[in-house]
Amino acid sequence: MYRKKGLVKMQGEKVTLQNIKGIGDKISEKILNSVGGEENLQKIVENVDVEKIANIDGISQRKAIEIMNQLLNNPTYEFIKSDRAMEIYEDIINKILAYSNTSYSKNRILLLSPSKDIEKIEKQISFVMDAKKQVSQLPIIKLRGLMKNLKEVENPKAEYDASKVILVETEEDNSYLTDLGLNQYYPIITATDSPLLQEELMNYDLIFYVYSQGILDFEGMPNLVMINIEENDYEIVPEKIINFFTHNQDLFNRVYEIQKIRGRETILGEIIPIIDELNVIDKREVDIEELVNSLKKDMDEELENAIQNVDLEGDEILNLLNKNLPPKINKIFDEIINERKKIIREKTGFDFDPYLRKYPIEIDDSEIQRIQLEQSSKKENDIFDVKKSAAIELNSIKEQAIKEVEEVIKFDYEFSLGSFAYEYDLNAPEFGDEINLKEALHLELALRKDDKNTQTIDYKLTNDENIALLTGANSGGKTTLLETLTQISIMAQMGLPVSAGEAKIKLFDEIYHFSKKRSLDAGAFESFLNVFIPIVTTDSEKLVLLDELEGITELEAAVKIISTFIDMIKESNSYGIIVTHMARELMNYTDIRVDGIEAKGLDENYNLIVDRTPKMNFLAKSTPELILKRIYEKSDDNLKQVYARILEKF
């Protein structure tokens, strides 16, 4: 069931748009008309096909995502309640998008949003973990290259060729072929009784005579292909299906390679030899005139040598004078010419005699012209037969080929999430009534896990200790811990595995993350309180993370405000962590667990030696002197003198 603002879509009901925010009757009607009605819109929603809505004129991608989110009841903005939490959510999305290769997966990823539906969350986590396992067994880089910018198949625009013509017998036949769209490929003319018809047809390089009765007589006309009008449209004009496959050939080749890598059965391999066959049919023709001339070169010399060895009688000499070749000479001509005719037949498929029996041998130009016309006609008919056969084969696999492309495009969503989970080494969280992180890592550090300076974090909040103060060294990792917890909580409720060796997460209704604030003037302070204080006035379960808010006002007032806030969180089912440098002051007003990240000194490169995992029930010092010492060691002599005087006071 999908619900928004009282709008309900039950199973079997039609999707309604009018009550969606920003969608009135006019835009609703435009969307329904564009997608082909309410039933098609319901299919689009079920397939989460944002692309189809985004392709509607006047609807941006962001608007399409908002529409889809509302139809799917994805409460993205209801869960995330602060600017910093929203920034962290968007950063998670952007990190996943970096693995997306198609518009389809990009839109599906943009739709990922936190939920409190445990069944939905666990189903999605299981899906991503299965994808991670699958990706781990695949050649990721090669697959990513093949997947990049994959799009759905395109129907190419018909290529019009005015040098060829379709001839039909009646206007009815003409209208029929026009309705099939074949006039987009060639002009269609109807036969008439006009004596000029034959002359008009001679202006075309090729005539496709599409007959219904076969009443027209074109005997002897070159370049004529006869086709029965009862054939399918792609058999009459094979280009209609062939152009579809050649236009999408690169796409089909890539999807074929992807399917092989995935170990899937595929029919796309059948396309390659068919297209290859089409690519060579125009190159098979032998140049008859060139062949005849090349064979003539040695004939005269061969003829001369043979004749020199012939003894002629008196009457044979008289016949020769009367230009009648005697039988002995005719036999020599026959032997030499027949040998060349055999070669010509083998190379061209035509049996003809292009040589005149003269010395030197001459070529019969009229015979060459005759056979060239016959060759051209046969070639066009042969090419048409090959194209027709190809079109029949290709049409038989067209539907399955399109399905395979759609399947691989949809696989990119799985591949993107799996790649993200695999490369960041994410693990499935468990859900309960506490927060318990072991070997947790900020996403910015997760890809550098093997770096010796990268430390994982362990941390815990429970029902009994649902809020804590976090103290310790400057630059020690307090802010990183808060952001890590925000990332893990949001990702878990998005149905994603998380950046932790183990993680137990409590499901929340809302999440707040407030980053460091400098001192605020009176107006800004009031605005902040109007946002901050209402957090504790509702019964919803919240995760509240506050990062050094003491700068909101002067110290004593800040302590009173924050301590009151702490007490109210303690009394609720919400959880919270407050990073602060005024833990001692707060402890005077409230009883709260204090945890600390302790810095032990500087290493040889003046980096803090610190355990990023907080010690429980431990008040850690800020140790600003360590930061001062690091700056002192890296400063020039003049500045060193200043920092040295400051350090003397610690």
pLDDT value of position 505: 97
Task: Give the separation between CA 437 and CA 335, rounded to whole angstroms.
Answer: 97
Q: What backbone torsions phi and psi does residue 102 show, to the nearest 5 degrees?
A: -135, 160
Q: What backbone torsions phi and psi does residue 545 show, to the nearest 5 degrees?
A: -125, 120
pLDDT value of position 316: 53
SS3 of residue 597 by DSSP: strand
More confident residue, 169 or 312: 169
pLDDT value of position 315: 56
For residue 218, CA distances in Å to 197, 331, 382 come to: 11, 40, 18
Residue ranges of E strands in 380-508:
430-431, 435-440, 457-461, 467-472, 500-505
Q: What is the mean pLDDT of residues 258-285?
A: 85
Dihedral of alpha carbons 95, 512, 461, 495, sign: negative
Residues whose CB is less than 8 angstroms from the CB of residue 465 and which lie 6 or more positions away in sequence, other chains included: 593
pLDDT value of position 283: 52
Task: Give the separation between CA 650 and CA 632, rounded to whole angstroms.
Answer: 14
Kindly tell me if the per-residue pLDDT of 256 is higher than 90: yes
pLDDT value of position 240: 94
pLDDT band with cut points at 50, 70 and 90 for residue 471 = very high
pLDDT tens profile 87-113: 999 999 999 999 999 988 988 898 898
Token match 């054939």: residue?
231
Question: Between 365-423 and 83-97, two packed helices, what is the crossing angle to 10 degrees?
Answer: 140
Alpha carbons within 13 angstroms on the beta-carbon side of residue 549 total 24
Kindly tell me if the per-residue pLDDT of 570 is higher than 60: yes
SS3 of residue 252 by DSSP: helix
Greatest mean pLDDT among 213-222, 330-339, 569-578, 635-644? 569-578
For the annotated binding site, the residues are 472-479
Residues whose CB is less than 8 angstroms from the CB of residue 135 and which lie 6 or more positions away in sequence, other chains included: 415, 418, 419, 421, 422
Which has the minimum average pLDDT: 130-139, 147-156, 469-478, 566-575?
A: 469-478
pLDDT band with cut points at 50, 70 and 90 for residue 285 = low
Closest by alpha carbon to 350, among 373, 386, 375? Answer: 375
Q: How many Cβ atoms sit within 10 Å of the Cβ of residue 174?
A: 19
pLDDT band with cut points at 50, 70 and 90 for residue 362 = confident
Greatest mean pLDDT among 28-37, 193-202, 635-644? 28-37
pLDDT value of position 127: 98
Pairing of strands 7-9, 164-168: unpaired
pLDDT band with cut points at 50, 70 and 90 for residue 11 = very low
Across the chain, mean pLDDT equals 85
For the annotated binding site for ATP, the residues are 472-479
List the domains of the chain with CATH numbers: 291-361 (no CATH), 430-598 (3.40.50.300)
Residue ranges of E strands in 77-148:
none
pLDDT value of position 16: 63
Kindly tell me if the per-residue pLDDT of 317 is higher than 60: no
Q: What share of the chain has pLDDT > 90, as a percent?
A: 46
Q: What backbone torsions phi and psi does residue 602 show, to the nearest 5 degrees?
A: -120, 145
pLDDT band with cut points at 50, 70 and 90 for residue 374 = low
Which has the minimum average pLDDT: 5-19, 443-457, 465-479?
A: 5-19
Q: What backbone torsions phi and psi does residue 639 show, to the nearest 5 degrees?
A: -70, -35
Task: Give the separation between CA 314 and CA 337, rounded to whole angstroms.
Answer: 26
Contact of 456 with 440, CB cutoff 8 Å: yes
Kindly tell me if the per-residue pLDDT of 191 is higher than 50: yes
pLDDT tens profile 583-634: 999 999 999 999 998 877 666 666 667 778 888 888 877 666 667 777 777 7
Which has the minimum average pLDDT: 46-60, 269-283, 410-424, 518-532?
A: 518-532
pLDDT band with cut points at 50, 70 and 90 for residue 520 = low
Contact of 413 with 104, CB cutoff 8 Å: yes
Q: What is the mean pLDDT of residues 401-415?
A: 96
- Tokens for 327? 């039988």
Task: Give the separation between CA 571 and CA 586, rounded to whole angstroms.
Answer: 17
pLDDT band with cut points at 50, 70 and 90 for residue 501 = very high
pLDDT value of position 322: 44
Q: What is the mean pLDDT of residues 166-176?
A: 94
pLDDT value of position 10: 35
Contact of 288 with 368, CB cutoff 8 Å: yes
Contact of 566 with 588, CB cutoff 8 Å: no
Encoded amino acid at 556, one letter = E
